[in-house]
Amino acid sequence: MNSSEWRRLPKDEKRRIWLLLSVEERCDLLRGFSQAERGALMKMLPQENQRWLWEVTPVRERSELWKALSKDERLTLWTSLEPDERPFWWSDLGGDRSQRSLSNEQRDLWASLTAEQRHELFAANMDQRMCALLWYATLEPEFKQLWALFPDDEQRRLWYALASEGSMRNALSKEQRKLWDYLTDAQKLALHAALPPQARSDLEKRLLTAERRRLGWG
């Protein structure tokens, strides 16, 4: 079957025939597909076939497959992935470019995830820049729920990531200050205790005297 014959088939017949094709036949057929046709195919396939189609599609075109799915279909597919697969899919959704900000696809997916799903993604081997981007995409009312899931090492990692956004020598960065002001005193004390000695000292120096005294740091 070639792509011209495929286009003449009704939707239900396309799905039935696709599932009967060998891997080689599917790959041959895909070569004649436009991005829009790949997207339409993505939408009609069962999850295991969606994952196969994703893998054989060039990275720069994968976000188009994602766009073809509804919000609920995207979340269902994401949930079906193995935990070690999700960071790679997340990266693919960022597009074929330097990640100076989240892509629209990443931002929409992040907004759909539960706190536990967000934590799982955050805890994957993300670099500091991505950690910061994920935090920026978290609405303030959701800070507390997500922060509570972070063990000490992840709290430190995020704190350093927010500092890397350009804090002045003797002041917290804008994003560190935003997070710090949102934390309860108990959470502030826990974060302080989780930092190594030099980082604790730096944090204390960047707070107002009244706050240092209130927290018991002299």
Instruction: pLDDT band for 127, please (50, 70, 90 cuts).
Output: confident
The number of angstroms, rounded, from the C-alpha of 58 to the middle of its chain's C-alpha atoms is 20
| SS3 state of residue 100 | coil
What local confidence, expressed as pLDDT, does residue 59 receive?
A: 86
Are residues 156 and 193 in contact, defined by beta-carbon separation less than 8 angstroms? no
Closest CA to 138 of 125, 149, 127: 149
What are the pLDDT digits (tens) for 15-66? 999 999 999 999 999 999 998 999 999 999 999 899 999 999 988 889 889 9
Of 46-55, 66-75, 171-180, the poorest mean pLDDT is in: 171-180
Q: Which tokens belong to 71?
A: 């919000």
Give dist(CA 2, CA 30) in Å, integer. 9
Residue 125 phi, psi (nearest 5): -75, 65
- What does pTM read for this prediction? 0.82
Give dist(CA 112, CA 71) in Å, integer. 8
Give dist(CA 187, CA 180) in Å, integer. 9
Are residues 90 and 121 in contact, defined by beta-carbon separation less than 8 angstroms? yes
- Boundaries of every domain in the chain: 130-218
Burial of 196 (0-12, 13-18, 19+ CB in 10 A): exposed
What are the pLDDT digits (tens) for 25-38? 999 999 999 989 99
pLDDT > 90? residue 118 = yes
